[in-house]
Each structure stands twice: as C-alpha cells, then as structure tokens.
Amino acid sequence: MKNLILGIVLLTTLSGCLRPDDIWAENTDSSTLIFQSEYINYAWGYNHNGWMLDNTGQVKRFQKTAKWVFPDSLGYVSASDMQKNMAACDSVIAQISSNELALYSEKAISCLNYNMTKPQNLMADAGEHIYAFYIYDFGGNRYKRVILKMRGDWSQENLAPNAGGIVDWMMKIK
C-alpha cells in the first residue's frame, strides 16, 4: 500500500495537479468500478460466496462452487480474470439505479489514497467478510482491489471519511 501511495504522489508531482481518479482511469464514470461483498472461510470446510456489482447496476451472486481468481499479493486482478469472475456469478439478485451507483462510485474513488487500520485478530474460525471495490487500471489492463472493511478472524478498516458510509450501503444490498 505504501508503494501505491508513493507512486501516486510521484505521478502527481511529475504530472501536475492530477486527481486520484485521473491517475487510475481515463474517466471517472462508474464503468471503471466493480463493488464486491465477499465472504470466505476455510474452517470446517470451504465456503466462498458474495456478490459483485457491475457498471450496469446489476448485483450478481457467486457461490463456493464458482471457479474464482483471487487478487494477487498487491491486490491486482487482470481484466480477463475479472471477466472470468463476473461470468462465474450465477444470478442477478438486485438492480441498483444509475444515480445511486454514480453517487457511491464517486465516494469510492475518494477512498483510494487512505491507509488501513492495523489488522486485529478478533475471532477464530469466523473467516473474513470483505467489502471492497475494484478500480480499473487502464495502463495495466487490470483491476486494483481497494478494501473498505474486512471483518472476521482479522479485522481492518479503510480510514477514508467515506468508507464507512459505503460499507453501510453495501451491507443493505442482498
């Protein structure tokens, strides 16, 4: 995360006064974001499920039987692997309006440059519930995961002022 922040600061310094969304994407519309609520647990058997919200406002469910490509150690997923993950979703469970999606996409973009709280080990065998969004990196043809909140065995929160409100909104999507 520190390297990411350092790279953004360096690019901003060299390129003038760029906004964080200018660095990540050629435009700031909601087409560059994918929201995700994900639960994963390896205790007492494997469980992996959740939903993804695409740029059309469709909330698509995935379950443990889906083949899944997880982000690498730096939080990146290639565009082709993201397409595979979206294709692994088995049903549309909700539809979000374009106005609501645009509002929360703008709020999410404001969370890019914030640190996370220190990880805290709070439970055992509870797994992890992760609320995050992915932003498209045009230069790398990949998506970068930005975690807003993680709770479970290990808990952590994004310190951005808008992060809590986005998570509250995401928790209402079923």
What is the residue extent of each domain of the chain? 26-172
Residue 174's pLDDT band (cuts 50, 70, 90): confident
Task: Read off the tokens for 77.
Answer: 């997923």
Mean pLDDT score of the chain, rounded to an integer? Answer: 85
Q: What is the pLDDT of residues 43-54, one digit of tens each?
A: 888 999 999 999
Q: Assign 5 a pLDDT band (cuts: 50, 70, 90).
A: very low
Angle at 144 between CA 55 and CA 87, to 5 degrees: 50
Say whether pLDDT at 147 is over 70: yes
Distance CA 25, CA 140 (A): 11
- Cα distances from 89 to residues 59, 63, 72, 142, in angstroms, run 9, 7, 20, 19
Residue ranges with strand state E in the chain: 33-41, 47-53, 58-62, 76-78, 91-95, 120-121, 128-137, 142-152, 154-157
At residue 65, the pLDDT reads 83
**pLDDT for 29 beyond 90:** no
Higher pLDDT, 26 or 60: 60
Q: How many CB atoms lie within 10 A of CB 170?
A: 21
Distance CA 46, CA 61 (A): 17
Percent of the chain at pLDDT exceeding 90: 72
> Which residues contact residue 19 at a Cβ distance below 8 angstroms, ignoring those fewer than 6 apart?
28
What is the pLDDT confidence band of residue 105, given thresholds at 50, 70 and 90? very high
Quickly state the pLDDT bin for 2 (edges 50, 70, 90): low
Q: How distant, in Å, are the alpha carbons of 48, 58, 86, 103, 129 from that of 110? A: 28, 22, 24, 11, 22
* More confident position, 31 or 138: 138
Amino acid identity of 67? K
**pLDDT of 4 higher than 60:** no
Q: Does the pLDDT value for residue 129 go beyond 90? A: yes
Residue 149 pLDDT grade (very low, low, confident, very high; cuts 50, 70, 90): very high
**What's the pTM value of the predicted model, to 2 decimals?**
0.81
